[in-house]
Amino acid sequence: MSGFWVKYAGNRTTIIQQGDLSARIYLDALSEIPHLYAIGPIEGLKGEITVYDGQSSISTIERTQPTISSSLHHGAIFLAYASATRWKTIPIDTSIRGLSDVEAYVQYMATRHNVDTRKPFPFRIEGRIDSLDYHIIYKTDDAPHNATEHQRAKQKFTVHDSAVRIIGFWADLQGQGVYTHPDKRTHLHFILDDDTASGHVDDVQLREGALLYLPR
């Protein structure tokens, strides 16, 4: 019997194809789930939700600058969420450069350690990065939403030489394109170890010596 499960609510395609930015699930309803992990955009595209082992980091924008809170009083347009109680720790003995390399490494290690990649699972990475590019989605107007407006709403930032916690979700074929981009099996958020920043990971340069955690 595995010590984890993965669920999701909503669908990212409603944002681009339908311009529907309403909430499909509320974090308050998940507050009693033990060892909760979750990622997704806030309703109205007003920020990013990251929950790491029950601790929430809600990133939004105030006066063009990122701001962080721990409030659970938010709805998500779509949300991937999981509970995981047991993890296998895997030292990363190489540097990893870019999201494609992260995805390939996770798939390789999952296969080696008997995690079924035909099914969804959460994973974690903890360690130091040389750099990490991220965005906080933050729509500032009421204009009809589409792919162009979606890119414009991404407020982009970079952190350097920092310790981070990354929570990722591996999607099965049913979830691919629902809570990941259509050509990706993974979706990653991060939190700085000092809890001063979080958001959606766009690129990462991960140093050797980080730790990958796979659920068991």
Residues 106 and 47 in one domain: no
Residues 206 and 166 in one domain: yes
Structure confidence by residue, pLDDT tens digits, 93-111: 999 999 999 999 999 999 9
Residues 95 and 199 in one domain: yes
Nearest to 91 by CA among 214, 201, 216: 214
Structure confidence by residue, pLDDT tens digits, 9-47: 999 999 988 999 999 999 999 999 999 999 999 999 999
154: CATH: 3.30.1330.80
Tell me the Ramachandran region of residue 38: left when phi exceeds 0, alpha when psi lies from -120 to 50, beta otherwise: beta
Residues 76 and 97 in one domain: no
Structure confidence by residue, pLDDT tens digits, 153-189: 999 999 999 999 999 999 999 999 999 998 999 999 9
CA separation for the pair 11, 14 (Å, rounded): 6
Question: Can you give the residue range of the structural domain that contains 44?
Answer: 4-83
CA separation for the pair 181, 160 (Å, rounded): 25
Residues 131 and 174 in one domain: yes
pTM here is: 0.96
Single residue among 83, 117, 134 that ends a domain in this structure = 83
Structure confidence by residue, pLDDT tens digits, 57-67: 999 999 999 99
Q: Mean pLDDT in the chain? A: 96
CA separation for the pair 83, 120 (Å, rounded): 12
Structure confidence by residue, pLDDT tens digits, 72-85: 999 999 999 999 99
The answer to whether residues 207 and 96 touch, using CB atoms and an 8 Å cutoff, is: no
